[in-house]
Structure formats: C-alpha cells, structure tokens
Structure 1
Amino acid sequence: MTTPEPQSPPSQPPVPASRDRVYRSPAGIAGGVLLLALALWLGIDAVVAGEGSTPWKALAVLLFLVPLVASYTLRPAVFANEDRLRVRNPFRVVVLPWGQVASLRSGYSNEVFTESGDKYQLWAIPVSLRGRKKAARQETRRAAGVGRGRGGGGRGRAGASADAVAAQGPVRAETDKVMDDLRELLEARKQADTSQGEVTVRWAYEVVAPAVAGVVLLAVLLAMG
C-alpha cells in the first residue's frame, strides 16, 4: 500500500512587518469636500441649463478644477511604518526609507530632509500657528497649576495630581505631536537593515493629465468664441 505524500500548505502572501500609520488633515478634507460640492453644483447647473458653448466650457472648467481641488485637499497624506516614510503630496508621491532621512523640521511648514539635501514638504501635516498658540496658553495654565500643587509641599491629592500632570510632558499642538512621533520613529529605525534603500519620486499623472486637458479644451473653446 502506497502512503500518500504529505501536501505542502498553500503559500500565503507575505505579512508586512508593520502597518502604516496614516496622517491626513481633517480640515483640508472638509474644505475639499465643500469646494468640490460647490464646483459640481455650479458646473452641472451650467451644463444642464447653459446654451451654446456654455455647457462645453463648464465641462472644461470642471475637468481642470476638480482634479486640482482634490489634489490639494483630499489627496495629501503621509504614511509611516518601521521601514519607510511615504509622502503623498498634490502632484508627487515620495517614498523615503528611514535610512535616507536626515531630519524632520517644523517651521512655518513641516518638511523632511534627505541625506542628499533634498527637501519635501509634508502637505498632509500643515503647521497651525493658532494651534501652537492655544497649546502655549494651555501649557502656561498647566504649569501654573503644577506650581501651586507643589507649593503646598506636594502632599495629598493635590500634590499627587500635580506630579501626574507634570509627568505627561509639555502641551503640544496636534501637528507638532505628529512630527514628534515621526522623529521618534526615525531615531529608532534609521539604522535598521530593512530601512535602507533609495528615495523614489513619482509624479501624479492621474492629477496632472486631466487638469492639462481641461486647460487645453477651455483655451480651444475660448478661441472659437
């Protein structure tokens, strides 16, 4: 009697080392949805009720405007995992292994710098000066509360509460917290073997192509009168 050979289990797709952390701008998404709704409402109304070449001009404007609005509001995102940082900006997608990232800097905008000196803005993580001012005010009030709690000798419930608040660290704006998280990930993973590689940049032709087509169509229609 022949013993059947054991069958190997079906191959499974490789499991990624870690899932991406995704960072986007809620305000940008909300503004983009409102702008797109307004543009579509006006554009569709012009297409349906317009006369002569007006419907065609409205279509050309929509073909130009909708991709641009979506690219600046809905499209931007930052994806980070243990191996690399992927930046999806309005017109480009940049993949940066952590080994190629020199620093992450925050000023009037949040930016990533590569070891070769290239700079890429993080559109999905905009700097909020208003958020920083609000965080500074909260930190001032918190520091004052901690000082009062410790002024009583740090005893009892008030002293323990003041110590707990102090241990939480300074109050930071939301986007600054995100940049702090990315810096910690960079510091932890920069030297890892799986975090090495080359920086790649891909242009978003799916955004550029329809916008250019809309401009060309609109120019032709205007030239024809």
Structure 2
Amino acid sequence: MTSPTPPAEPQHADRTYRSVSALVCGALLLLLVAWMAGDAMIRGEGRVPWLAAGALLLVVPLVVAFTLRPAVFANDDRIRVRNPFRTILLPWTEVADVRASYSSELLAQDGTKYQLWAVPVSLRARKRAARSAARAAHDDPYGRTSVSADVRDSAARTASADQTVRDLLDLAERAGGTTPEGAAAVSVRWAYEVIAPAVVGAVLLAIVWAAG
C-alpha cells in the first residue's frame, strides 16, 4: 500500500512592516475624496460629474499607492518591498545593506538602491528616543534598573524606523549568505493595478477639460 505523500514544509511566516500613520491618513483621505467626488457626481451639472469621475479615477489610486500600499514583508529567506509603483523581491543573499538616515533604503549587491516607503524616518521620533536613552543613562550609568527608568526597555529608546532596520539586518545576518533551495530570484514588478486607473483618470480629465 502506497503511503500518503507528506505535506510540504510550511513556508516561514512573513514579518510585515507598515506605517500606521500612513494607513490612518490614507483612510481619511479616501473618505474625503469619496465624499467630495460623490457629491459632485450626484449634484453636479454639465461636465462636473465627468470631471469628478476623472478626478476620482486619478486621485484614489495615488492615495492608495502612497499611503495604503507601501509595506515590507520579510522572512528568513527573502525580503519583499512594496513601494507605491513597484514591488521588489530579493533573497537576502542579494542584499548588501539596509540603512536609515533621512530615509530608509535597501542596498542591493549590484549597487541598486531601493527606498523603503513603508518605513518612514521621523527625526522627531529619533530625537525623542535619544532623549529617553540619555535620561536612562543618567538615572543609572551602569545599565541597572532604576526607579524612574527601566533601562531594559530598549525599544522605548529606539526610533521606530531604526528598530525596523535592526530587525531586517538581523534577518539578513541570520540568512548567513547562503541561498536556500528554491529561493526566488531578484524581481521588480510594476504596479499596473495602480498605474492604469490613474492614467485613465488623467486622460478622462484632459478630454473633458479640453471639450469645455
């Protein structure tokens, strides 16, 4: 009797990194755009509904692209960067560095730089984290727990973008420079699902506006 084929090994779960503030702003902007465009399409006269429809087709994909879409997905084998108009997939063996200065970026082995839109750098958060670290060091320069500051809580003394970069670098180091069997190759895909409706909306706006 033939034994059943064992199930395939489960893939490593992705860690997902996104900007909460961008998600909130995107949702609010979409509600505002939908309310304004919907009102113009229902109550508008003449070419106003068509202009509103064109604006809706143009603006909604752009809002989604810059607020809701950006994300970084990483596991032990590879990193997938979803930016406004492109999705970049790289195995860790093709990643030379991940860093955050005034913006977060990934440097590939061939020298290509990719911005990490989902990991915005906040200079205010970085200064706040530095002040927190300075207070903790002042309370106990030997790194022991004090009454006013718990020096074990290092996350409170690290800006969000810097902590994310550390997590990604840890994953890259854990990969050990070896490509696992069946790992995906480097790929860059354009987000036509975002670009196409925005182009259609822009063309519709231009046609209606030119028609007068």
TM-score (norm 1): 0.86
Give the distance between the partners of 2:186 and 2:126, measured in 1 at CA: 31
Output the amino acid matched with 2:4. Answer: P
Residue 13 of structure 1: CA displacement? 4.9
2:202 corresponds to:
215
| Structure 2: distance between partners of 1:197 and 1:63 | 34
CA displacement at 1:134 relative to structure 2: 0.5
SS in 2 for 1:161: coil
**Residues 122-133 of structure 1 aligned to structure 2 (within 5 Å):** 122-133=116-127
1:175 aligns with 2:161: yes
Q: Which runs of 4+ in 1 moved over 3 A?
A: 10-14, 164-170, 195-198
- AA paired with 1:179? V
> Please, which of 88, 103, 106 is the counterpart of residue 112 of structure 1?
106
1:204 aligns with 2:191: yes
Q: By how many angstroms is 1:161 displaced?
A: 2.3
Provide the rounded CA distance (Å) in 1 between the counterparts of 2:74 and 2:9: 19
Give the drift of 1:88. Answer: 0.2
Q: In the alignment, what sits opposite 2:36? A: 42
Alignment partner, residue 79 of structure 1? 73
Instruction: State, as a whole percentage, how many aligned pairs show the same letter.
Output: 48
3-state DSSP of counterpart to 1:108: coil
Q: 1:69 aligns with which of 55, 63, 72?
A: 63
Q: Please give the per-residue CA displacement for 1:109-168, whole angstroms capped at 9, x wherever unaligned.
A: 000000100000000000011100110111111111113xx6xxxxxxxx9524x95565
Hey, what's the Cα distance between the residues in 1 that align with 2:144 and 2:124? 32
1:156-200 per-residue CA deviation (whole Å, 9 max, x = no partner) reads xxx9524x9556558211121111011111112141231866321
CA contact (8 A) 1:68 1:207 kept: yes
1:161 aligns with 2:145: yes
SS of the residue corresponding to residue 98 of structure 2 reads strand
Q: Which residue of 2 aligns with 1:9?
A: 4
RMSD of the TM alignment (CA)? 2.0
1:9 is displaced (CA, Å) by 2.5
The DSSP-based 3-state class of the residue aligned with 2:76 is coil
Hey, what's the Cα distance between the residues in 1 that align with 2:24 and 2:82? 18
Task: Report the AA paired with residue 194 of structure 1.
Answer: P
Identify the match of residue 144 of structure 1 among 112, 123, 138: 138
User: Shift of the alpha carbon at 1:12?
Assistant: 3.5
Contact 1:146 / 1:165 at 8 angstroms: preserved in 2? no
* In 2: Cα distance, 1:222 partner to 1:145 partner: 65
Q: How far apart are the structure 2 equivalents of 1:42 and 1:169?
A: 45
Q: Which runs of no fewer than 5 residues in structure 2 stay unpaired?
A: none
Give yes or no for the alignment of 1:28 onto 2:22: yes
Distance in 1 (CA, whole Å) between partners of 2:92 and 2:169 is: 10
CA separation in 1, counterparts of 2:103 and 2:33? 28
Counterpart for residue 3 of structure 1: none
Instruction: Give TM-score scaled by structure 2 length.
Output: 0.91
Q: In structure 1, what is the Cα distance between the partners aligned to 2:131 and 2:169? A: 24
Report the alpha carbon displacement of residue 50 of structure 1 after superposing the two structures with TM. Answer: 0.2
Q: When the two structures are aligned, how many residues end up with a matched partner?
A: 208
2:91–2:179 contact (8 Å) kept in structure 1: no
* Distance (Å, rounded) in 1 between the aligned partners of 2:42 and 2:168: 49
